[in-house]
Amino acid sequence: MTTATKTFPSLCRVFATLAAGAVLAGLAAPTLAQALPVPGDARIVRVHDLQQLLQRIDSGSTPRVAGDGDADGQPRAPVATQQPALESVATLVRAFVRPELASNEQVQTLGERWLVVLGRAEQQAWIDRFLQAAHQEQPVVARLRVDVVTMPEALFLMQVAPALAEGDEPAAAVTVLQPGAATSTFLDRLRTHPQATAVPTQVPAAGVALQALVPCSVAAVNQTAYVRDFKVEANRDSMVAEPVVDVVQDGFLLRATAQPFATGLGVALHAVWSDLTKPIPTFTTTLGIGRPITIQLPQVQQVQVEAAVELPADNTVVLLLPALLGRRCIAVLHVEQVAADRPKALGR
């Protein structure tokens, strides 16, 4: 399900998809093969190898940003590089390639390093320029600050959704807010509402540093131990069952990847909110040892949203994840672009 573009006030292009296991395609490096166009069809198939680009992203360093370091010159904001780069870069390419992809044009990945592009010559040229810029050094291009709250769905529908709606259209999954008094008032009320519960993400006040094309993760995850199974062993004249303990996780996870463009900062976002059913359901059996034993069967429900947003300086993104078990999760992302020497921004 694709949501409409929504801004508050109207300003930026937003590409958002409510995903339930959606698979996004990726980006690549040198062209290895190209199929000749079919007469009357302007589309061309090209295959790229992504390996060198992924290696560069994974090993990208973080140069010092002016005014953003301690005495040793290291940035205060931590940089995370643990999420796969392929999917995040793919989101940026699919959303921002120009001309836009038509319904019969595709960007798909093969395996862990290959990109197949079915598109027009203009799109192929855009991707070539994107790749040239991507192979340059990845500087810190922005800081990401994240506030996450949950609230009853009824409260969201009465007070939050109307504020984010545009005319007769309901609030979109992704809303971009311009800086200003109205935005500040809305965000303050959202954070301080007595029925809103803050989700601690442990993001420092300086924010998390975003390097160009390097995926960064922000999480607030609960870990719950449970008895997954029993290990049965013979002990002389009896059978002994030892519990096998495992851990299940739930909570909030955000992955963000940024890339500068001439008109703003392109940011690919993937947010997941999950909830563990408590108490954990149980199942009782004997396993042939003559006495009952109980194992636990955790059930985790989750919702997610994926988006690619082009942000002018100092705008704020509001992500509305779908309702889950009568509650709504709202993530407020402020992306502050930083001044640093970086590769020339790609034109739009």
In order, the DSSP letters of 131-147 are HHHHTS---EEEEEEEE
Rounded mean pLDDT, 105-116: 83
Rounded to two decimals, what is the model's pTM?
0.75
Structure tokens at 219: 């999480």
Do 287 and 232 meet the contact criterion of CB atoms below 8 Å apart?
A: yes
pLDDT reading at 76 higher than 90: no
Interhelix angle 51-58/85-96, nearest 10 degrees: 110
Looking at the DSSP assignment, which residues form a beta bridge with residue 264?
A: 261
The amino acid present at 253, given as its one-letter code, is L
Looking at residue 195, its amino acid is Q
What pLDDT score does 105 carry?
94
The full length of the chain comes to 348
Pairing status of strand 216-235 against strand 44-49:
unpaired
> Quick one: pLDDT at residue 341?
46
Higher-scoring residue by pLDDT: 239, 164: 164
Spatial CB neighbours of 277, under 8 Å, sequence gap ≥ 6: 298, 299, 300, 301
pLDDT recorded at residue 20:
34
Q: How confident is the model over 140-169, as a mean pLDDT?
A: 92
Query: What is the average pLDDT across 7-22?
Result: 40
**Strand partners of residue 223:** 249
Q: For the ranges 23-32, 64-73, 80-89, 129-138, which has the lowest average pLDDT?
A: 64-73
Q: Check if the beta carbon of residue 308 is closer than 8 Å to that of residue 91.
A: yes
More confident residue, 304 or 340: 304
* Tens of pLDDT, residues 213-272: 888 889 999 999 999 999 888 877 777 888 999 999 999 999 998 888 877 888 989 999
Higher-confidence residue: 19 or 59? 59
Q: Please give the pLDDT value at position 70.
A: 37
Residue 89 pLDDT level (bands cut at 50, 70, 90)? confident
Closest by CA position to 96, among listed 8, 213, 216, 7: 213
Q: What is the pLDDT of residue 48?
A: 82
pLDDT beyond 50 at 81? no
> Are the beta carbons of 61 and 78 closer than 8 angstroms?
no
Question: Within a 13 Å sphere around the CA of 259, how many CA atoms are in the beta-carbon half?
Answer: 29
Give the start-to-end residue ranges of the domains of the chain: 6-337
Rounded CA gap, 291 and 124, in Å?
A: 67
In the prediction, which pLDDT does 68 show? 35
Q: Which residue has the tokens 């390996």?
A: 51
pLDDT tens, residue by residue, 194-220: 999 999 987 887 888 888 888 888 999
pLDDT at residue 34, as a whole number: 63
The reported pLDDT for the residue numbered 209 is 87
pLDDT band for position 111 (cuts 50, 70, 90): confident
Residue 33 binned pLDDT confidence (cut-offs 50, 70, 90): low
| Residue 333, both tokens | 């992302």
| Residues near 323 by beta carbon (within 8 Å), at least 6 away in sequence | 153, 156, 303
Q: What is the DSSP string of 91-143?
A: HHHHHH-SSPPPTT-EEEEETTTEEEEEE-HHHHHHHHHHHHHHTS---EEEE
> Would you state the pLDDT for residue 291?
82
> Which tokens sit at 155?
């409260």
Question: What does residue 111 show for φ and ψ, rounded to 5 degrees?
Answer: 60, -140
Do 147 and 335 touch, CB atoms closer than 8 A? no
What pLDDT is stored for residue 94 in this prediction? Answer: 84
Whole-number pLDDT of residue 339? 63
Q: Does 345 have pLDDT greater than 60?
A: no
